[in-house]
Structure 1
Amino acid sequence: MKHSDFWDRMTETFGAGYARSVASDHSISMLEGRTIDQALSDGENAKTVWMAVCRTWPERVPQRLVR
């Protein structure tokens, strides 16, 4: 997954303003306690990060984007 695709999905899921806040402010246990921004900066695969988002916020992520 390209980073641009990742951010498109984040924006669709959380909204344009809130997506960046989620990425910088929320630690995710599936990412070893890192934020989304930290995981991506550390070189974590965008698909892996996206799947962590899907599992952390299953009620927010549209089902068609869970892949």
Structure 2
Amino acid sequence: MRETELWARMTKQLGSAYAQVWADQTSLAGLGNRTVREALGAGVPCKTIWRAVWAALELPASER
């Protein structure tokens, strides 16, 4: 997964403005208590980040 796809999926679920805020402010246990932006900066693969986002948002399996 590329970063553009990660952002597209987050935008679909959260809306364009809130996805950015959420990515900056929400620490996810699945990312070692980092935010999405921190994880991206640390080089965490986008697929791993999406799985953590998916779990945190409790999205249906079809969105995985």
Q: Structure 2 length as normaliser, TM-score? A: 0.93
Identity of paired residues, percent?
Answer: 34
Higher relative contact order (CA 8 A, sep 6+): 1
Change in 2 beyond 3 A, CA 1:42/1:31 = same
Matched with 2:18 is 18
Matched with 2:27 is 27
Matched with 1:53 is 53
| Cα RMSD for the two superposed structures | 1.1
1:1-52 alpha-carbon deviations (Å, 9 max, x no partner): 0000000000000001000001000001111110000001100000000000
Matched, 1:65 2:63: yes
2 CA distance for matches of 1:64 and 1:18?
22
Count of aligned residue pairs for this structure pair: 64
Contact 1:28 1:35 (8 Å CA) reproduced: yes
Matched AA of 1:30: G
Choose between structure 1 and 2: higher strand proportion. 1
Displacement of 1:65: 2.2
